[in-house]
Amino acid sequence: MPRALQLAPPLQPTSHMKNINLVRSAAIFSLIAALGFGCAGAGVQGNSGKDISPSGPTVINQRAVPDSIEIGKDMATPKAPEFLADIKDFNAQVSDVRVRFLHVPLEVPMQNIGGTTWRASLTPRQVQDLAVSGESMRYEANIIATNTDGQTAVSTSPVSITIKAAEVASSG
């Protein structure tokens, strides 16, 4: 009669084996989480929460719309360019926001248009003052925000706007 196979008692997991299983489980979880977050955020660009000041105002998402305009010989602007920015402040109310142009003496106050978004529009006269006949001029401006505690923040990168003006004088 054939001899019955005798099975060895099951191995009891050692602390070393438990550690290997924990490391393997953690690695698999990390990989799944990284892939999941990578897919969820694919194609989405934005600022990081670490870029927002925990105390005082922070200027984010600053932009000019449109960022380039052309004006004709009559110096009429087709659409007034606007500057938009979001101002975050977790400790005090934002009380004053301005667009301050670099290298030219122009500062434009911004108004809150809802939530944390602020807007300033250039007047036709301001656009004419910035225009140079027959030239395309690129200007940069910072957004400056102040809260009710007197704390001030400046945008980390300037907003650019280009104003292209037709030649007003004709040779003849």
Model pLDDT for residues 102-115, shown as the tens digit of each residue: 999 999 999 999 99
Cβ–Cβ < 8 Å for 77, 130: no
81-104 burial: b if 16+ Cβ within 10 Å, else e: bbbbbbbbbeeeebeebbbbbeee
pTM of the model: 0.68
* pLDDT, tens digit (0-9, with 9 covering 90-100), for 67-124: 999 998 887 777 889 999 999 999 999 999 999 999 999 999 999 999 999 999 999 9
- Residues 138 and 164 sit within 8 Å (Cβ to Cβ): no
Q: Band of the pLDDT at 29, cuts 50, 70, 90?
A: very low
Q: Would the CA dihedral through 12, 18, 24, 26 be positive or negative?
A: positive
Tell me which architecture the domain covering 49-165 has in CATH.
Sandwich (2.60)
6 or 110: whose pLDDT is higher?
Answer: 110
